[in-house]
Every structure is written in structure tokens, then in C-alpha cells.
Amino acid sequence: MPDSDKLRSAAAYLRVSSEAQSGDDRFGLQVQAGLISAYAARHGLQIMQTYSDTISGTRHRREQLDALLDAAPRYEAVVISSVDRLGRRNRVIYTVLDELLETGLEVHSTDMGAIDPEDEGSMLSFGVRSLFADSDHRSLTKKLARARVAKVAGNPLSGRPGEPANPLNGYGWRQGVRDDVEAAWLIHIYTRFQHVGAHALATELDALGVRTRAGKLWTASTLRDLVRNPMYKGEYQYGRRKRGKGIVKAACEVPALVSPELWEAVNHRLDQRNARAGTSNPLRAAMYPLSGHLRCGECGRVMRGLSLSGRKYGYYACRSVGSTAYDGGRPCPHHRHYPPEQLHALVRQALDSVATDDAALLDMARLPERPAPDHGPALAELKRREDKLEAAYMADAYTPQEYAERRADLKRQREAVLNAPAPTPPPGPDLEALQARLARWKDAPLDELADRLGLTVRVSMDGAVRVELDPPVEL
């Protein structure tokens, strides 16, 4: 054992990723401290202070590491239990090492000794360990991601339902528990969103003293992100990010805070308003009150209001004209321009004609779509089992007869999935409710009438007009 008078002062640096890992047999704080203490005793180092961080190894800014860097002049060396305690990514590991070396400290790792930046062998050994740490982290990240996907997807064959990867914590939820106050305001937001825009609703909420979870004022973009989230209608999507970005890798049911009908109605209304972007000018809005409600009968895209050069009056025209976004790169052939007064009159006539014709009114109402059965998760699970069975058979784990029996059983399960009864279609439109809604709003300005009745007007190339109704939910 080295003479205590010749011991050099040193600091110990420990790191774990989470509190749960602090007692781990492999990476725990006590294990790290024990390895460092033994190393220091063998190499004439005296541990004067221990610095410990609980933070992911993918981040190089750490509270205790910063404290160690500030106190570096007190020590001659710093000791870590292994290279991966500096970090779990190559970039982070080298960044932390450089910061320590720049203070003048010697850096020691119990698994490789002193890390000497001037020695090629030492840096080669350090580089190899850094690569292993990075590779191990990436492998672990992928395993955790697969485990979360499996947790969310559940197992349809065994009857195990899916569940969220983490406790729900969006507005209306707090760590998996419903927040009744926020949930009530959430329903208010969805209900009002059918009749007012995002900016107006944000102003209303601020005037009422309603704030976001963080205590901030509402903004239009925050409200749009909120109502777009399918979690509120009872569908948790793993992989989804704000504004619908990201790739949804699995989904499961969760308790809904608003009805699916209200969620769909609000998002349909939001789509219509997005299509009407650019009509905030009062004069333009008055000229084109059906903006966002008109669809080209040929390509299905929005028909917009426009003014042609040299002409006094405006027209509605297909938005795809001149674009190659239609039918594999061909421009939409619907080139006609329609005077607004002509289309407005046709829409009014169509609505007047169904006011006393029940059959025509029901035909005009857009029928709810029958939800298509989603066989994907069940078929994917069966495919996994088939691959596993095939591999086991190739490894002589089953006799030909056992293999044939299991294969036949999987085939029967696949047929059962594919032949499952179709979901019950949603109920059709309520005739009395449609009649009452039409009678209430038929004399309203056309833009308000279109919003209240959820109009979609499809204009064909021959000038034929079809009006569809999809009224928003009213609570």
C-alpha cells in the first residue's frame, strides 16, 4: 500500500441514469464507489470528494460534473469506474473527457488505468471502450422502444389489452389520473371550437382566466395542437408528435375525455377553416363565403376564390389547376371558373329543395363511414409466431408431425382473424335533428350557414353541384 504521505489528491465521479439504477448490481453508485476506492488505494490516490450525477449518459451538461470542473484546482486526478460513466454516446464521451483534461486533471478509469491523450495505445483503448458504450446504448434504446411498442399494441390473440407507454399527462390528465377541472375546460374548448376560430377562442379563455397547464396564456397554435390530439377521443398513439408529426408505431384505447363524434366534428371544422386560409380580409370573405366548403368533383381538392387579371369580378376555381399533384403528376383538367353568385344560388336552391323532402334530405346528409376492421396487429403477431415456429423446426426442436399440427393451428387462427365479424356501422343521420338544424339556419348568411350545417359542395366539370351535409355536434 502506498505511503499515506505520498498519496495524491483525487476526486471520484459517479453517474447513473436514473434513481432506480442507483442500487443496480452492475452500475449502482455503491458498486462504482467500491471500484474507485480499490483503484485509488492501488495507485496512490486519495479520494477527497465524490461527485455524483443522476442523469442520462446522452447529455454532457450535468450539475455535479460542472461542480467538479469548477473545483478541479483542488485535485490532481479524477477517477471513474468505467469509460461509459462519462457518457453513452461517442460525442458526449469525448466532450466530457476533453473538459476534464483541459482543467489539468489526470483522468483514470478503473477498467483501463490512466487515460493519456498523448499515448496512442491509451487513446485506442479509450476509443474502443467508447464505441462499445455507444453501441450498448443504441442496442438498449432499440430494445426499450420495441418493448414500448409491444406494451402499447397489446396482444389481440391472448386478450392482453394495450396500454400507454407512459402515464397520460396531457391537458386533462395528471400522471394517468383525470383532472376534472381541466377536463371540463377541455370539453368547453372542443364545443366552442366548432363556432369560433382559434384566435378568438384563445382570447375568450384568457378573458375567463383559464390558463394552460404551465400557467401561460393560450395561443391559437396551442389550441389547434390540443384539439388535434386523438388521445382526447380515446386513442393513444405511440410515436405521434405535435402537429401530427412522427410515425405512429402502435395505438391503444384510453378513456376518452370527449366523445369521438365531437372530436371528429371539431377536426373536420378545423380542416375547413384551414382550407379557407387567406379569407380573413372582410371584403374577400364576403365575396367568397363558401371558401373551404367547395371541392372539385374531379380531383377532390379545395376550390378557391380568385380574381383574374383584367377582370372586375371574382371566381371560384379548382386549386389543383396548373399543379402536378393530381393523378400521378397530371394537372387537374377541371379548368372552369364559376362566378360566386352562380354557385351561391345553386346551393341555396338545393337546400330549399330538401326542406320538405325527407328522402332528399337524408340523401344529402353524409352517412357515417363504417370503420374498417384493423387486422394488422393480430396478423403481425401470427406472422411472428410463424417465423418462430419455422426457426424452431429448422433447429430440430419439433418433429414433422408437431410442426404440421402447430402450423395448422396458426392457419386456423389466421382464418378466424380474417373472418371476424365487421364492426357495427355508426347510426345514420337523425332526420328530425337535420330538419330542425336546416330550419334554424336556412336564412343565415351563407358563410355561417355553411359552418352550421357542415356543408361540402362538390362541383363537377359539367357544372353539376352536389351538396352534402355533415352538421357539427351541438352539446
- Residue among 17, 109, 125, 130 flagged as catalytic: 17
pLDDT score of 398: 82
- Band of the pLDDT at 113, cuts 50, 70, 90? very high
Where residue 270 sits, what CATH number does that domain have?
Answer: 3.90.1750.20
Clarify whether residues 53 and 101 are in a common domain. Answer: yes
Q: How many domains does the chain have?
A: 4
* Structural domain of 386: 376-416
Residue 157 is assigned to a structural domain of this protein: no
Average pLDDT over residues 23-39: 83
17 is catalytic: yes
Clarify whether residues 111 and 240 are in a common domain. Answer: no
3-state secondary structure the chain: CCCHHHCEEEEEEEEECCHHHCCCCCCCHHHHHHHHHHHHHHCCEEEEEEEEEECCCCCCCCHHHHHHHHCHHHCCEEEECCHHHCCCCHHHHHHHHHHHHHCCCEEEECCCEECCCCCHHHHHHHHHHHHHHHHHHHHHHHHHHHHHHHHHHCECCCCECCCCCCCCCCCCEECCEECHHHHHHHHHHHHHHCCCCHHHHHHHHHHHCCCCCCCCCCCHHHHHHHHHCHHHHCEEEECCCHHHCCCCCEEEECCCCCCHHHHHHHHHHHHHHHHCCCCCCHHHHHHCCCCCCEEECCCCCEEEEEECCCCCCEEEEECCCCCCCECCCECCCCCCCECHHHHHHHHHHHHHHHCCCHHHHHHHECCCCCCCCCCHHHHHHHHHHHHHHHHHHHCCCCCHHHHHHHHHHHHHHHHHHHCCCCCCCCCCCCHHHHHHHHHHHCCCCHHHHHHHHCCEEEECCCCCEEEEECCCCCC
Clarify whether residues 380 and 458 are in a common domain. Answer: no
Clarify whether residues 68 and 36 are in a common domain. Answer: yes
Against a cut of 0.85, is the pTM above it?
Answer: no
Q: List, for residues 415-467, the tens digit of each pLDDT value.
A: 877 776 665 555 667 788 888 888 888 889 998 888 888 888 999 999 899 99
Q: List, for residues 16-29, the tens digit of each pLDDT value.
A: 887 766 555 566 88
Q: Considering the chain, what is the average pLDDT of its residues? A: 84
